[in-house]
Amino acid sequence: MKIGPFEHSSQVVLAPMAGVTDQPFRNLCRKNGAYWTVSEMITSNQKLWGSRKSRSRLCFQNEVGPRWVQIAGGEAKMLASAALAAEEMGADIVDINMGCPAKKVCNKAAGSALLRDISLVQDIFQQVRAAVSIPVTVKIRLGWSLEEINAPLVAKIAEDSGLALVTVHGRSRACKFVGNVNYDQIGEVADQVDIPVIANGDIQSAEDAARVLAATGVSGVMIGRAAQGKPWLPGQVSNYLENGEIKNNPTLGEVKAMLMTHVSELTSFYGELTGPRIARKHVGWYLTEQSQGSQRRKEALREFNRLETVGQQLQAIEEIFDLLGGQDTLAA
């Protein structure tokens, strides 16, 4: 897959997910074989960049490239300025969010709400493209609703405006994350343009990815929620698409080491107060499936969510994995 000057055999992209794909998680996915990763959504309002949340999301300068940074907003000039600032901070690729279905985003005429105003979409594409020298991409949905499907038109405008790639989530904004993903309509988008199109939505395994690629003719796939608690998944899928081999899930010992590292790095990144609190959801994602059928494991996870320090959390992880004794690997 090729995005501007960046080219790699991997056809798998880690999706931008607010509260998930922070720097520690992106780095962990890279260590497990991912190449393309996208940052959490960053507001284009630079007046808010001094907040704790924005400061953490703007930390990408010391990462292995390509550093693919997503920005969100509803004003072309503001998005262009934010894209330029991101480039000056070290971004290699900038992505425009036109896919987020969250009400708080759409209420500000951003995210997927932009799909209802084609003239604004065109203005945003042109101003952002003119503002930076790095590749510009966009993530969209099929449209605002099932009655307002316009992804092929938006993709064509993106191509004509000089954008390098379009990612399409195969649902409308109105669908949110409910119902089946329409891969056929993603394929129709790919048929309309010559730039790469990435398929997104409910791709949870290597086999899913292969089926979507075969059915749609897209250039790659984007994995989102399926990677929560499975930072090895993007690399696992990428390896299958490249080599036809499905790597085994990591052993319990490997997952334990990965999780211990992840929890420690979250505290190093966010600090001793915020890091352990953010770690709770990640530990839950890693271990939720394994807690099924064991009351003691469920209790251990509940107890974990009351811990306040990284030291307490690391000790608890040791104890939880002791309770998982007898299993070779985590559940698929």
Catalytic residues: 100
Q: Are 223 and 13 in contact (CB under 8 A)?
A: yes
Which helix (H) or strand (E) segment holds residue 72: the answer is strand 68-72
- Kindly state the DSSP code that residue 34 receives in the 8-state scheme: -
Ranges assigned E (strand) in 170-280: 197-200, 220-223
Q: How far apart are CA 324 and CA 300, in angstroms?
A: 11
Which helix (H) or strand (E) segment holds residue 262: the answer is helix 252-270
Ranges assigned E (strand) in 248-330: none
Q: Are 23 and 269 in contact (CB under 8 A)?
A: yes
Number of other residues whose CB lies within 10 A of the CB of residue 50: 9
Sign of the alpha-carbon torsion through 204, 40, 219, 74: positive
Residue 159 neighbours by CB under 8 Å, 6+ apart: 166, 193, 194, 195
In the numeric block, the tokens 């099929």 are attached to: 142
